[in-house]
Amino acid sequence: MTEPQPILEVKNLRKVYKTIVAVDDVSLKVHPGTCLGLLGPNGAGKTTTIEILEDIFEPTAGTIHYKGQPRRGSFREEVGIQFQHTSLLNYLTVKETLRTFICLYGDPEEFDTLVQRCELGPLLQRRNNKLSGGQQQRLMLALALVNRPSLIFLDEPSTGLDPQSRRNLWQIVDQIKAEGKTIILTTHSMEEAEYLCDEVAIMDKGRIIAEGSPEALIKQYCGSSAILLPLSVDTRKLENLPYLWQQQKDQIRIDSDDIYTTIAALSTLNIDLSGMSISSANLEDVFLQLTGRQLRD
């Protein structure tokens, strides 16, 4: 079975600023109807990469094909971009802002569709400078959808939002993806990437160091889960356990590729499991293992 044509294909992308190599030989394929997350610590090159993909900056080297062809002048009119920071005119209302942006395109999305999709109905008469963080992000997402894009860039869409606003935004993005649109997003939230992304590419020092679905990366780099027991358990019995265990702060940690078999072995040894908890590996564990735990500036 042949692989479907990528909506965006990047080969050997490179960006150099004087003596600094910001992006170093990055190659990506983004397939229609999927969400790709570009992850990385500060200074990894992901912001530069996405700005090149958005056609804001020219690459030093490399090729970018959109729908199988080099990008044309119409590319910017065909994609939607939600920037991390955008200034809107304070004296305009949400309704006036939407109407203004709709006038900029020849075949825009219906006003009512944008309002309903991004849950802006109660906010239409509110001025832009009176919106909360979550409300403003929903408006910015609506503006990114005005031109009916098939490819949408989201640059850290939920940064600074409270948990409820973040979840609301995720649900809207999920609905957009269900309509067959393609999304490329950058985020520092591993939870967000795990929830929204079909594929993730982890960058560090300008290069992609890992790529795949969240599930595949977790299995590849952090395959085992952990059983956590309180220190009150009889550790002498654990000496007969055919699994490695270690004491961590105020608990006993047992790493295992088969949780059920390990629990059965603990039961056989008459280990008290009343205080047991299970810690499953997630995308944050993968990220920290690949990029390190040291704070980046």
Q: Are both 107 and 170 inside the same structural domain?
A: yes
pLDDT at 177 over 70: yes
Same-domain status, 83 and 26: yes
- CB neighbourhood size of 171 (10 A): 12
Q: What local confidence, expressed as pLDDT, does residue 293 receive? A: 61
Residues 214 and 234 in one domain: no
CA distance 243 to 265: 9
* Whether 158 contacts 187, CB under 8 Å: yes
pLDDT band at residue 120 using 50, 70 and 90 as cut-offs: very high
Range of the domain at 198: 8-219
The pLDDT tens digits of the residues spanning 212-222 come to 999 999 989 88
Q: How far apart are CA 231 and CA 48, in angstroms?
A: 47
Residue pair 262/254 in contact by the 8 Å Cβ criterion: yes
pLDDT digits (tens, 9 = 90+) for 131-173: 998 899 999 999 999 999 999 999 988 888 889 989 999 999 9
Strand partners, 82: 154
18 lies in a domain?
yes
Cα–Cα distances (Å) from 75 to 13, 30, 70, 183, in that order, read: 18, 16, 10, 15
Sign (positive/negative) of CA torsion 46, 49, 54, 57?
positive
CATH classification at residue 236: 3.30.70
| Cα separation, 44 vs 42, whole angstroms | 6
Domain count, the chain: 2
In order of 65, 123, 289, the CA distances from 221 in angstroms are: 31, 45, 8
- 274's tokens: 């009343």
In a domain, 122, yes or no: yes
